[in-house]
Amino acid sequence: MEPLKTIPEMTIKKPLFTVFTPTYNRANLLHRVYESLLKQTCQDFEWLIVDDGSNDNTAELIFNWKKESPFDIRYLYQENKGKHVASNVGINTALGELFLFFDSDDACIPEALERFKFHWNNIPLHEKNNFSTISALCVDIKGQLIGREYPEDIIDADTVWKQLMLRSSGDRWGINRTEVLKSYLFPEITNERFISEGIVWNRMAHFYKARFINERLKAVEYTSDGLSASSINIRTNNPIGTRLYYSELSEIKLPFLQKIKALLNYVRFSIHGKISLQSIVIESKYPFVTFLLLIPGYIFYKDDKRKL
């Protein structure tokens, strides 16, 4: 891990954005992020990379970029612990006011940061402390929208359910206030290397608004080794964190069928996590409904085992 330089706080010019990239053996793909950042019309950012234990030439590649880059690049290395742990390191060491997750296999339009800055500045000063997030749309490598547009060009969502529905209607990309993220770090669970990012967004949504904008700012290419490519496998291999996500999701004020689905998944991944049936029921906020879902949850568990 790169040692932090000892500089008096007052001498550090803090950027508006921290563009954060967690990476693991993606030296062949990282150029997409770097080339996108070189083209940005707004250069008020740092690029912070946390390497989650790569054994390819990621470090060499980044150090070569550092020599020529017009913007600040910081590189930190950790033993392989998972994207969520790398994200916590990034959040805790970020210098920017606004934090942007930028995965190692993605690209964005040259005006992306400029547009985020525009929309952030358009939130009235007296309202800014009530917001945590600005979320935009994504396209695939052919330029086709992933998911659906928002119902309006700008929507300010102030409930967990409304934010959840808008996030779930397609692949989304956004900035978050760094100081808010520092209060909502990803849970780190022993021997597990994944937890859904949604657990953080849902927790923040209880207390902060999010602004959703109908602008297509990021291009996503799904790779065979990406997290989205093996969702079931990842969740079953990290059942305690997945169980926690669905447990918290079930406690949100949801429509009936969505609540049942969350509780069903809570049961399903509790069984994957070898939690006793008694504990599954007792630890649920809705023990009677959870009891009724034990058999359906077990059926889903067995189907997962068959597929894997």
In-domain check, residue 3: no
Is the confidence at residue 231, as pLDDT, over 90?
no
| Distance separating alpha carbons of residues 35 and 102, to the nearest angstrom | 12
Residue 108: DSSP 8-state? E
In-domain check, residue 126: yes
- List, for residues 233-261, the tens digit of each pLDDT value: 999 999 999 999 999 999 999 999 999 99
Same domain, residue pair 271 and 286: yes
Last residue of a domain, one of 202, 224, 246: 224
Q: Torsions phi, psi of 50, nearest 5?
A: -110, 115
Same domain, residue pair 145 and 218: yes
Confidence (pLDDT) at 223: 67
pTM: predicted TM-score of the whole model, two decimal places: 0.91
Same domain, residue pair 123 and 192: yes
Same domain, residue pair 90 and 211: yes
204-210 mean pLDDT: 98
In-domain check, residue 161: yes
Cα angle for residues 246, 102, 62 (degrees, 5° grid): 130
Other Cβ atoms less than 10 A from the Cβ of 11: the count is 6
Last residue of a domain, one of 194, 224, 254: 224
Same domain, residue pair 239 and 217: no
Same domain, residue pair 75 and 166: yes
| Distance separating alpha carbons of residues 109 and 142, to the nearest angstrom | 14
Is the confidence at residue 224, as pLDDT, over 60?
no
**Which range of residues forms the domain containing residue 177?**
9-224
Same domain, residue pair 219 and 156: yes
Q: What is the DSSP string of 41-71?
A: S---EEEEEEEES--SSHHHHHHHHHHH-SS
Dmax over CA atoms of the chain, in Å, equals 62
96-111 mean pLDDT: 96
In-domain check, residue 153: yes
| Distance separating alpha carbons of residues 77 and 43, to the nearest angstrom | 25
Last residue of a domain, one of 172, 205, 224: 224
**Domains in the chain: how many in total?**
2
Same domain, residue pair 200 and 278: no
Distances from the Cα of 138 to the Cα of 111, 144, 171, 197, 221, angstroms: 14, 8, 6, 17, 10
Distances from the Cα of 65 to the Cα of 37, 61, 68, angstroms: 12, 6, 5
Other Cβ atoms less than 10 A from the Cβ of 34: the count is 20
Same domain, residue pair 246 and 210: no
In-domain check, residue 4: no
In-domain check, residue 298: yes
Same domain, residue pair 152 and 299: no
In-domain check, residue 1: no
Same domain, residue pair 138 and 282: no
- List, for residues 59-98, the tens digit of each pLDDT value: 999 999 999 999 999 999 999 999 999 999 999 999 999 9
Is the confidence at residue 3, as pLDDT, over 60?
no
In-domain check, residue 269: yes
Same domain, residue pair 201 and 111: yes
Q: Which residue intervals of the chain are DSSP H helices?
A: 31-38, 58-68, 83-93, 112-121, 160-167, 178-181, 198-205, 231-237, 239-250, 256-272, 277-282, 287-292, 294-307
CATH number at residue 169: 3.90.550.10
Is the confidence at residue 308, as pLDDT, over 90?
no
| Distance separating alpha carbons of residues 78 and 1, to the nearest angstrom | 6
Other Cβ atoms less than 10 A from the Cβ of 107: the count is 20
